[in-house]
Structure 1
Amino acid sequence: MSYGSMGKKLALLPLLILLLGGALLAADTGRPNVLLITLDTTRADYLSSYGFQLPTTPHLDALAERGVRFSDATSQIPLTGPSHATILTGLYPHQHGAIRNGVPLLEGIPTLAERLSAQGYRTAAFVSGWTLRRNLSGLARGFDIYDDRMEDRYHLVNSQRFAHQVTPPALEWLRNNARRPFFLWVHYFDPHSPYKKRDKSHAILERASPSVMAALPQRNRNYASEIHYTDQWIGKLLQALNELDLESETIVVVTADHGESLGEHGYVGHGRHVYQEILRVPLILSWPGQLPQGKTVDVPVGLVDVAPTLMQLMDLPTLGEGMNLVPTFGEGELPKLYTMRRIFFETYPGARKKFWKIFSPPMNFIPSLAGFREGPLKFVYNTREKQSQVYDIASDPGEVRDLMADYPIYQSSGMQLVGWIEDSSVASGESTANSTDREKLRSLGYVD
């Protein structure tokens, strides 16, 4: 080899190091892979591992037995795009700017995908609901692949894809990237309305307990069958980790963006209310050999805590404003910092039809409802009516008895909460939804 050709190759060495540096860093540190699975519109109490009377989630139940199950996890906002932005940033909605479906995450807000990509991780997301399309959510940043193809229609105008469509491409990507540190996010939209009856899953649940199924309204039976159907496809993802010998090298996180009211409080849906059936979500973490097995954590936590916890487990600088939940994995008594912390939540009115904008002032960025959990207590403030409510979730999980009169300490909490939101809000972006997007959002009930 001539000195000239050797010199040319040496000149390329810095570029090669720059390109490979991140990947080598991730490999050298032995940091784990991350598989994030999110279920849309899935309330915790419809998972069998969370007490549901039907075996809706055998694969997630098995995952919980191999890891840590949080029994009292709260969504920070019952809207798909904003809630996933909270999961991926560790910030409250008013802090990351995505306060409605169709309003994307603000530029400059760091995400989990961006942080892990900078560490040399391969990153991919496979999403299945229209509200998570890249132009509407702003969540594609940091992902090498952001697969948001929508292949089916219902309600004439709304698009999604089902679990049997989103899982195969995710599995293919996983198998092709199994030998490099990866962050894979797979989103399942299936439990969302219109609650399609999954005949095979419906029959399995009916055989398991005919009396329980018979006692449920048809809407609830269909909803349960959707969750069972989704669990079957999640099982294929988890099985692939086992077949690829990746279980001990991979942190698996399973959660939901929010729950769903199925008629409780005279309401079907989510987004407009903050009752427990809408805010309480499953949260399961598993990492064999590193996290406890079969542990249940009962202290209240939030989806805002997911990103900071993952960063701590990977020994990386924290992300967002949530809490690192690693101390809750132990057996000792937790400090009040964890047991009596305030976990905030908020929701906002939907985007208005253009006609009504003529007759009403521009919407500000104050939530229609906001509140917090503090131990067993739940405080809710209606900003329009300036009314406060307090519930004891431990003794009154159905939120029937308003205890505000018994807790004068919370008398000024509503205005204080609004003040905090105003002071810490970022300038929310405008909706990026075009006319097609608006029709699809309207079909989901996200446009007034």
Structure 2
Amino acid sequence: MTPNVLVFFTDQQRFDTTGVHGNPHGLTPHFDRMAREGVHVERSFTCQPVCAPSRAALQTGRWPTATGCFRNGIPLPVGEPTLAHRFAAVGYETAYMGKWHLADDDVAGPVRPEQRGGYERWLTSNLLEFTSDAYETTLYDERGDPHDLPGYRADALTDAAIAYLREARDRPFFLFLSYLEPHHQNSRDDYPAPHGYAERYADPWLPGDLAALDGNTREHIAGYYGMVQRVDECLGRVRGALDELGLTGDTVVLYTSDHGCHFKTRNGEYKRSCHDASIRVPTALAGPGFGTGRPVRRLVSHLDLPPTLLDAAGLPVPEEMDGRSLLPVVRGEPDPQPDDVLVQISESQVGRALRTQRWKYAAVAPGADGWTTPAAERYVDSHLYDLDADPHELHNLVDSPTHREVLAELRERLAERIAEAGEARPLVEPAPLERAG
């Protein structure tokens, strides 16, 4: 049997918005059920906490520095092999719906065919956060024709996806369904939930980092939670349509997000930092091969997800992909992969972070411009957190005299992981003694 493959992709969703990660508001019953009955990737991390690089990695299975898409505003190179190319080569119909963010940044209308990543069916906006609003959604089809979709933006996209699923076809499909929710509305820097939803969270529970730190959390968290709830309802509708159409047993479903959201507690915006609030995302798999009900507890990078989808469809994983399929882990086979992940950080800095089960270590390139410079030859310590003792990353130990040995080990491991990612092995050094705070 050749399975269908569906990616349900949200934008800027924190991992702890979900019930399986401890959120008490019941925002995500459909995701929680998918995680419990399928495979919950408990410790899932983006490889780059900003939109375009993360999306490029999910399309190609390659590091942002390898494709050149190391920051926003750099289109995916024409001819770069994507999942669409891989699935189309073996007869799949490929379709993309929603936010793309891998074409030229000045594209407000249709994306040129050569910048569509090889997808056959197409209903998108390149920069949906700038070209739509909560109840105003215009997407462009493969002919370049605009479609004004009614209703709340997430519902409009869901309606289009369900209509696509209902179409008669004689070959399997690969559908990448890319929501904007719960990303902020850039034009006014707010989080527009559906009418009546933000009011449900007027006295919200807050994760530890947001409760402890300044930022704009209390202004925006109610709307953010309302957006998360609605997009989870959309997941329920999509999976319900698969059930109704008799496709559930034949369809691999991946749910994940491009990055998280720290509500201006770590820098002047919402992501682009080493903290779990920026890099840790909800991820689950369901469908053929993933009905185990057993979580994956090792650390997983976004780069592991494209090879997992190909493997689940019985397709070979190209050697040039930088991640590794999770299917052997799902089947309970011995796991030789390292239990840590590397994160590249751009725009706000030229930074690199290493996440292990216990430690978060990050280093930055002094004086480097994160907008023009993809990588550096030298990095210095910036952050160290003991996640066992400080899961909300409130106490930076990078200057702690008692952690010098730990820092030395993590510097060495970070340099190794950077080299494994195809960059020149850098010099990673202690920060100057006069650095404070």
Q: When the two structures are superposed, what TM-score results if normalisation uses the length of structure 2?
A: 0.76
Which of the pair has more CA radius of gyration? 1
Equivalent residue for 2:76?
105
**Deviation for aligned residue 1:91:** 1.0
Equivalent residue for 1:328?
329
Equivalent residue for 1:22?
none
- Per-residue displacement from partner, 1:357-396 (whole Å, max 9, x unpaired)? xxxxxxxxxx611122234322211112642133233332
- Per-residue displacement from partner, 1:152-201 (whole Å, max 9, x unpaired)? 5459xx99982122222222111114553000111110211121143333
Amino acid at match of 2:5: V
In structure 2, relative to structure 1, the CA distance for the partners of 1:295 and 1:411 (3 Å cut) is closer
- Per-residue displacement from partner, 1:273-323 (whole Å, max 9, x unpaired)? 1211000011100015x3234322211001100011111112211041101
Give 5+ residue unaligned stretches, structure 1. 1-29, 351-366, 426-448
Q: Percent identity?
A: 25
Amino acid at match of 2:356: E
**Deviation for aligned residue 1:232:** 1.4
Partner Cα distance (1:191, 1:383) in 2: 31
Work out whether residues 67 and 76 of structure 2, in 8 Å CA contact, stay in contact via their aligned partners in 1: yes
Work out whether residues 200 and 222 of structure 2, in 8 Å CA contact, stay in contact via their aligned partners in 1: no
Equivalent residue for 1:225?
226
Equivalent of 1:387 in 380, 385, 403: 380
Give 5+ residue unaligned stretches, structure 2. 140-148, 185-189, 212-216, 368-378, 426-437
In structure 2, relative to structure 1, the CA distance for the partners of 1:316 and 1:417 (3 Å cut) is closer
Partner Cα distance (1:221, 1:329) in 2: 36
Equivalent residue for 2:342?
344
Larger relative helix fraction: 1
Work out whether residues 76 and 83 of structure 1, in 8 Å CA contact, stay in contact via their aligned partners in 2: yes
Equivalent of 1:142 in 83, 104, 118: 118
Partner Cα distance (1:410, 1:234) in 2: 39
**Deviation for aligned residue 1:113:** 0.8
Amino acid at match of 1:200: G
Partner Cα distance (1:62, 1:374) in 2: 27
Partner Cα distance (1:249, 1:261) in 2: 37
Equivalent residue for 1:41?
12
Equivalent residue for 2:432?
none
Equivalent residue for 2:312?
313
Does 1:75 find its partner at 2:46?
Answer: yes
Work out whether residues 105 and 138 of structure 1, in 8 Å CA contact, stay in contact via their aligned partners in 2: no
Partner Cα distance (2:117, 2:315) in 1: 19
Equivalent residues in 2 for 1:236-251, closer than 5 Å: 236-251=237-252
In structure 2, relative to structure 1, the CA distance for the partners of 1:189 and 1:131 (3 Å cut) is farther
Q: When the two structures are superposed, what TM-score results if normalisation uses the length of structure 1?
A: 0.74
**Deviation for aligned residue 1:326:** 1.1
**Deviation for aligned residue 1:119:** 0.6
Does 1:123 find its partner at 2:119?
Answer: no
Question: Which sits farther off after the overlay, 178-187 or 390-399?
Answer: 390-399
Q: CA RMSD in A?
A: 3.1
Work out whether residues 78 and 115 of structure 2, in 8 Å CA contact, stay in contact via their aligned partners in 1: no
Equivalent residues in 2 for 1:236-385, closer than 5 Å: 236-265=237-266, 267-271=268-272, 273-287=273-287, 290-319=289-318, 320-331=321-332, 334-335=334-335, 337-338=336-337, 340-349=338-347, 368-384=350-366
In structure 2, relative to structure 1, the CA distance for the partners of 1:211 and 1:90 (3 Å cut) is closer
Amino acid at match of 1:292: G
In structure 2, relative to structure 1, the CA distance for the partners of 1:159 and 1:246 (3 Å cut) is closer
Partner Cα distance (1:300, 1:32) in 2: 26
Work out whether residues 56 and 205 of structure 1, in 8 Å CA contact, stay in contact via their aligned partners in 2: no
**Deviation for aligned residue 1:203:** 4.5
Work out whether residues 128 and 166 of structure 1, in 8 Å CA contact, stay in contact via their aligned partners in 2: no
In structure 2, relative to structure 1, the CA distance for the partners of 1:302 and 1:419 (3 Å cut) is closer
Equivalent residue for 1:199?
195
Equivalent residue for 1:170?
161
Partner Cα distance (1:55, 1:61) in 2: 9
**Deviation for aligned residue 1:414:** 5.9
- Per-residue displacement from partner, 1:197-233 (whole Å, max 9, x unpaired)? 4333335556xxx6748x9723111111111011112
Does 1:55 find its partner at 2:56?
Answer: no
Size of the aligned set, in residue pairs, is 369
**Deviation for aligned residue 1:131:** 6.0
**Deviation for aligned residue 1:117:** 0.5
